[in-house]
């Protein structure tokens, strides 16, 4: 599943190890209609390309390139789009492309990830796969006037790694009791994280307890960064 360095130095050196290439004309009807409802001009492009980071490499490259994260409002998004631009324009010579995500529209990233075989459901309500566990994320989606080889799609959906996990240590590791039913109770999770001095404010012990692909775990600094961003949203929405 991961890109090999010969596929794109611009992507792999920045930790964007996942690239899925889809034909816009051959998308399943529900996805085509979802995109059409957001912006019908997106379907004028021949290809839709989804990019994801996996493991800790993107963060390490970002910290070298951007020592001061406060210098921009969305350093991860900006860094990711710079990598995509270098790949499309610099490596492939693509002159016409449009970024769907990051953006203001609710692009169906999880549905696209499931189509590509990257994304399986987990009790934590984040995607999981056998290669990277929960330590991956969608960083960009674009439509482009490109001619890349299409990604071979799975003929049958692969089972989630959670299906064969007998002990499910994530369930018992949730300090806020948000996994007692076997799937995340989002309101309980959010309420517990918002408490003063919550042990889950800047990390998720349940996610860290997952036994799938522990070597791909993000660095502590990256985990704190992402959880700080989400915590600001939680506490801001509670006002």
pLDDT tens for 80-127 read: 999 999 999 999 999 999 999 999 999 999 999 999 999 999 999 999
pLDDT band at 6 (very low <50, low <70, confident <90, very high): confident
Residues 232, 122 share a domain: no
Task: Please check whether residue 136 lies inside any domain of the structure.
Answer: yes
What are the structure tokens assigned to 219, written together? 């660095």
Residues 200, 120 share a domain: no
pLDDT band at 61 (very low <50, low <70, confident <90, very high): very high
Task: Please check whether residue 65 lies inside any domain of the structure.
Answer: yes
Residues 183, 122 share a domain: no
Residues 134, 182 share a domain: no
The predicted structure's pLDDT at residue 101: 98
Task: Please check whether residue 150 lies inside any domain of the structure.
Answer: no
The predicted structure's pLDDT at residue 7: 85
Task: Using the 3D structure, point to which of 117, 144, 171 is the last residue of a domain.
Answer: 144
What span, in angstroms and rounded, lies between the C-alpha atoms of 171 and 185?
A: 12
The predicted structure's pLDDT at residue 72: 84
- Per-residue pLDDT, averaged over 23-30, amounts to 98
Residues 102, 19 share a domain: yes
pLDDT band at 159 (very low <50, low <70, confident <90, very high): confident
pLDDT band at 237 (very low <50, low <70, confident <90, very high): low
**Residue 184 burial (CB count, 10 A):** 20
Round the average pLDDT of the chain to a whole number and report it: 95
Residues 116, 168 share a domain: no
Alpha helices in the chain (DSSP H): 9-12, 29-38, 57-65, 75-85, 109-116, 169-173, 186-193, 205-209, 220-237
Residues 121, 62 share a domain: yes
The predicted structure's pLDDT at residue 239: 44
The predicted structure's pLDDT at residue 3: 82
Query: What's the number of domains the chain is made of?
Result: 2
Residues 129, 99 share a domain: yes
Task: Please check whether residue 151 lies inside any domain of the structure.
Answer: no
Residue ranges making up the domain that contains 227 = 161-237
Any residues with CB less than 8 A from the CB of 63 and at least 6 apart, and which?
A: 221
Task: Please check whether residue 201 lies inside any domain of the structure.
Answer: yes
Task: Please check whether residue 218 lies inside any domain of the structure.
Answer: yes
Residues 203, 174 share a domain: yes
What are the structure tokens assigned to 26, written together? 């051959």
Residues 94, 18 share a domain: yes
Residue 238 predicted with pLDDT over 70? no
The predicted structure's pLDDT at residue 19: 97
Task: Using the 3D structure, point to which of 118, 144, 170 is the last residue of a domain.
Answer: 144
Q: What percent of the chain has pLDDT over 70?
A: 98
Task: Please check whether residue 152 lies inside any domain of the structure.
Answer: no
Residues 218, 134 share a domain: no
Task: Please check whether residue 193 lies inside any domain of the structure.
Answer: yes
Residue 76 predicted with pLDDT over 90? yes
Residues 45, 10 share a domain: yes
């Amino acid at each position: 599943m991961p890109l090999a360095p010969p596929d794109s130095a611009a992507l792999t050196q920045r930790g964007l190890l996942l690239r899925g290439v889809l034909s816009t004309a051959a998308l399943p009807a529900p996805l085509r209609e979802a995109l059409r409802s957001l912006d019908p001009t997106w379907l004028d492009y021949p290809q839709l390309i989804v990019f994801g980071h996996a493991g800790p490499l993107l963060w390490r490259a970002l910290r070298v390139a951007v020592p001061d994260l406060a210098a921009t409002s969305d350093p991860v998004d900006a860094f990711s789009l710079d990598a995509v631009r270098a790949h499309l324009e610099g490596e492939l010579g693509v002159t016409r492309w449009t970024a769907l995500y990051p953006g203001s529209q609710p692009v169906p990233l999880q549905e696209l990830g499931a189509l590509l075989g990257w994304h399986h459901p987990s009790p934590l309500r984040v995607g999981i796969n056998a290669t990277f566990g929960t330590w991956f994320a969608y960083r960009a989606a674009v439509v482009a006037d490109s001619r890349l080889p299409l990604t071979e799609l799975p003929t049958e959906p692969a089972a989630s790694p959670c299906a064969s996990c007998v002990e499910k240590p994530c369930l018992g590791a949730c300090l806020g009791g948000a996994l007692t039913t076997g799937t995340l109770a989002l309101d309980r999770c959010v309420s517990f994280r918002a408490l003063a001095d919550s042990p889950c404010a800047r990390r998720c012990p349940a996610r860290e307890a997952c036994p799938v692909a522990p070597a791909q775990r993000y660095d502590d600094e990256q985990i704190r960064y992402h959880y700080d961003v989400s915590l600001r949203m939680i506490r801001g929405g509670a006002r």
